[in-house]
Amino acid sequence: MWAAAPLLLLLLLPPLARLCRRGAARLEPAGRAVLITGCDSGFGHLLALRLHRLGFTVFAGCLCPGGDGARRLQREAGGGGRLRVLQLDVTRSCDVRAAKELVLRHLPERGFWGLVNNAGISTFGETGWLPMETYEKFADVNLLGSIRTTLAFLPLLRKYKGRIVFMSSIIAYFTLGNGIYSMTKAAIEKFCDALRLEMKKFGVQVCIIQPGNYARSTKIQPPVSAEEIWNELSEEEKAVYNKEYVQERANFFNSILSEGSTNGNEVVDAMVDALTSPAPKARYVVAKLKEKALVFVCALFPTVVMDFFLSYALSK
């Protein structure tokens, strides 16, 4: 009898959590500030507009504050002064410091509620195809950039018992031609796991968003060109691979991109829930059923099983 108790508890936890989430009141956005990185386009752009409509004071960090995306964001938000576009390159400490100073000067009455680490970049290429400079750039943007902004705003988040939301991906569990992106997402997940436990004592909640394939919605990864990949390979790599192989891999990756969802608002819904729910989830998986199944296999089955499935997919 007692041996079955842990299993029974495991089965009861999800419905009990849903009941708690339904019973408590959602957050009142008015008078609360949220900073979002990567608002030039994609999820960050959509989220900034959504939070503005809900009543939050939004600080929209853009890599190019004078670019088309930032100008469109300001037009779509209209007047009112609750949405501010600011220069924010997450790889530059001076930009992060300036963003914090701006937020402090314009904090609304209920203070700083949320930080959304959304900025990120993606590319395609097998491990030996990419130079060390590319690895350093991706680590700086996708991993260290999120850590850099988080460390800067932690004092404010602790003071106001706010929320931190990180943009990860189901690619943190496996890779199909973009291992450099998977590497950074897996690393940020471990950072989040440590941070989530450490922040509980301060009343700060940390959430991870794990989208599936939304390449067509975010444009984070444009279609790849086999010719460009081949031209950038070192002579050592060209001696190992041939143009036909590179073309096959590029075609495979482009076919995956073409299957991506165009409805980015599905992911934004999860981000909004993470910021406003009285009992947010630690992880939000927003993906198709087959993508969730792949994550399930990867998380619960031995590595040899996952390698078999992925090797089979790549062979096709």
Task: Compute mean pLDDT per 10 residues along the chain, 316 residues long, and list them.
Answer: 45 52 76 97 97 97 95 87 95 98 96 98 92 96 98 98 97 88 96 98 98 91 92 94 93 91 96 97 96 88 85 72
**How much is the pLDDT for 313?**
72
The catalytic position among 181, 214, 241, 312 is: 181
**How much is the pLDDT for 284?**
98
Residues 6 or more apart whose Cβ sits within 8 Å of residue 2: none
User: CA nearest 185: which of 145, 224, 216?
Assistant: 145
- Token couple for 190: 């471990």
**How much is the pLDDT for 309?**
78
Which letter, b or e, does each residue of 124-159 get, where b requires 16 or more Cβ atoms within 10 Å of its Cβ? bbbeebbeeeeeebbbbbbbbbbbbbbebbbebbee
Answer whether 0.85 is exceeded by the pTM: yes
Name the β-bridge partners of 33: 57, 112
Q: Give the integer Cα–Cα distance in Å for 146 and 118.
A: 8
**How much is the pLDDT for 9?**
46
| Annotation says 181 is catalytic | yes
Domain boundaries, the chain: 28-221+263-315
Q: Give the integer Cα–Cα distance in Å for 205 and 201.
A: 10
- Segments in 5-59 forming alpha helices (H): 5-23, 42-54
Q: Evaluate whether 43 touches 218 at the Cβ level (below 8 Å).
A: yes
Q: Give the integer Cα–Cα distance in Å for 67 and 87.
A: 11
Residues 6 or more apart whose Cβ sits within 8 Å of residue 102: 59, 84, 86
Question: What number does CATH give the domain 28-221+263-315?
Answer: 3.40.50.720
**How much is the pLDDT for 308?**
85
Phi then psi dihedrals of residue 83, to 5 deg: -125, 120
Which amino acid appears at position 251 of this protein? N
- For 80, the 3-state DSSP assignment is coil
Q: Give the integer Cα–Cα distance in Å for 263 and 132.
A: 34
Would you mind telling me the total number of residues written for the chain in this entry? 316
The side-by-side arrangement of strands in the sheet containing 57-62 is: 83-87, 57-62, 33-36, 112-117, 163-167, 205-211, 283-286
Q: Evaluate whether 272 touches 50 at the Cβ level (below 8 Å).
A: yes
**How much is the pLDDT for 98?**
98
